[in-house]
């Protein structure tokens, strides 16, 4: 696999494109919104500058990485010669099904279709294509250039050959792939999201404040970041979406999102990306400071 297409230039998409390009792959970064595309490309450049400043890479490494990335707004043009497409669009099942149906129609028959979904069924996504054996999950962690884990999720029909190929490909990116089966939330979010939700319930029930809850988990459980700050960093809308997928999939009340989380999302308080969540990020330098500690 040499030609990689990443769909979606948001936080996860630009991170995935950055990672592939830094490892020598030719990457087409596709986003139908020109503004989002340019913002994603600018983020990659800034993150590379930060890595140069920290002496993790050289200026030459940065230039080679940027040269490996081409930004496009036309999906059909972008995927024409793809060996692998990694979809990293919004965590919305209807949107993902629409994208995969379209990809199946315009991609070469040999093209492998992967999704970065953090909770949605790979089997359901694969079912709208004529190549369910070539559809697989590649769940990268944020921030992608730094985090080592890739959950490799095989759907009901994903072939052994494709699974092995994606496992080996993940290793060439310097990642540690872990194969998991296709159930709501997979492993990472099936364990993480109930913890975040319980932290929000603890706040909602008045047991302790935001700082106190996060301090207990950082100092008592050696977490690098408190659960409420982590929820802000992930995006409260994303947390809510994942919990809803798990609740719908398992019909178990333990996955039901806390009313406080629901109301915060309704109010547009989504965390770092909106400027306010459990913490206040209204000053741009505060939001930048939270993001910088990971790169």
Catalytic residues: 118, 139, 151, 189
Tell me which DSSP letter residue 173 carries. T
- Please check if 96 is assigned to a binding site: yes
- Please check if 286 is assigned to a binding site: no
- Please check if 8 is assigned to a binding site: yes
DSSP element (H, E) containing 221: helix 221-221
The C-alpha atoms of residue 214 and residue 232 are separated, in whole angstroms, by 12
- Cα–Cα distances in angstroms (integers) from residue 260 to residues 137, 196, 257, 279, in the given order: 31, 12, 8, 14
- Please check if 10 is assigned to a binding site: yes
- Please check if 171 is assigned to a binding site: no
- Please check if 155 is assigned to a binding site: no
Burial per residue of 191-212, b for 16 or more beta-carbon CB atoms within 10 angstroms, e otherwise: ebbbebbebbbbbeeeeeebee
Evaluate whether 8 touches 26 at the Cβ level (below 8 Å).
no
Q: Of the candidates 102, 118, 160, which has an alpha carbon nearest to the alpha carbon of residue 12?
A: 118
- Please check if 142 is assigned to a binding site: yes
- Please check if 249 is assigned to a binding site: no
- Please check if 3 is assigned to a binding site: no
- Please check if 118 is assigned to a binding site: yes
Give every CB contact of residue 53 below 8 A, 6+ residues apart in sequence. none
- Please check if 65 is assigned to a binding site: no
124-129: long-range contacts, CB 8 A cutoff, minimum separation 24: 124/93, 124/97, 125/96, 125/97, 125/100, 125/155, 126/100, 126/155, 126/156, 126/157, 126/158, 128/97, 128/100, 128/101, 128/104, 129/100, 129/101, 129/103, 129/104
- Please check if 13 is assigned to a binding site: yes
Residue 34, φ and ψ in degrees, nearest 5: -60, -40
The annotation places the binding site for NAD(+) at 8-13, 31, 91, 96, 118, 142, 273
The annotation places the binding site at 8-13, 31, 91, 96, 118, 142, 273
């Amino acid at each position: 696999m040499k030609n990689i297409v990443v769909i979606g230039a948001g936080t996860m998409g630009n991170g995935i494109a950055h990672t592939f390009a830094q490892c020598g792959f030719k990457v087409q970064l596709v986003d139908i919104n020109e503004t989002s595309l340019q913002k994603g490309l600018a983020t990659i450049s800034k993150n590379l500058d930060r890595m140069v400043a920290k002496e993790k890479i050289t200026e030459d490494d940065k230039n080679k990485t940027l040269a490996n990335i081409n930004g496009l707004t036309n999906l059909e043009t972008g995927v024409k010669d793809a060996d692998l497409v990694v979809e990293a669009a919004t965590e919305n099942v209807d949107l993902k099904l629409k994208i995969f149906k379209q990809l199946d129609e315009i991609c070469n028959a040999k093209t492998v279709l992967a999704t970065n979904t953090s909770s949605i069924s790979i089997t359901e996504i694969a079912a709208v294509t004529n190549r369910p054996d070539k559809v697989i999950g590649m769940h990268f962690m944020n921030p992608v250039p730094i985090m080592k884990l890739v959950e490799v999720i095989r759907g009901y029909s994903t072939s052994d050959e494709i699974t092995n190929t994606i496992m080996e490909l993940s290793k060439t990116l310097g990642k540690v792939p872990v194969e998991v089966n296709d159930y709501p939330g997979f492993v990472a979010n099936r364990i993480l999201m109930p913890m975040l939700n319980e932290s929000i319930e603890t706040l909602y029930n008045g047991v302790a404040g935001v700082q106190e809850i996060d301090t207990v988990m950082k100092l008592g459980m050696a977490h690098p970041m408190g659960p409420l700050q982590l929820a802000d960093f992930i995006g409260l809308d994303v947390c809510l979406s994942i919990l809803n997928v798990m609740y719908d999939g398992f019909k178990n009340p333990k996955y039901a999102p806390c009313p406080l989380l629901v109301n915060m999302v309704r109010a547009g308080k989504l965390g770092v990306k909106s400027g306010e969540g459990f913490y206040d990020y209204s000053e741009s330098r505060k939001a930048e400071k939270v993001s910088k500690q990971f790169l």
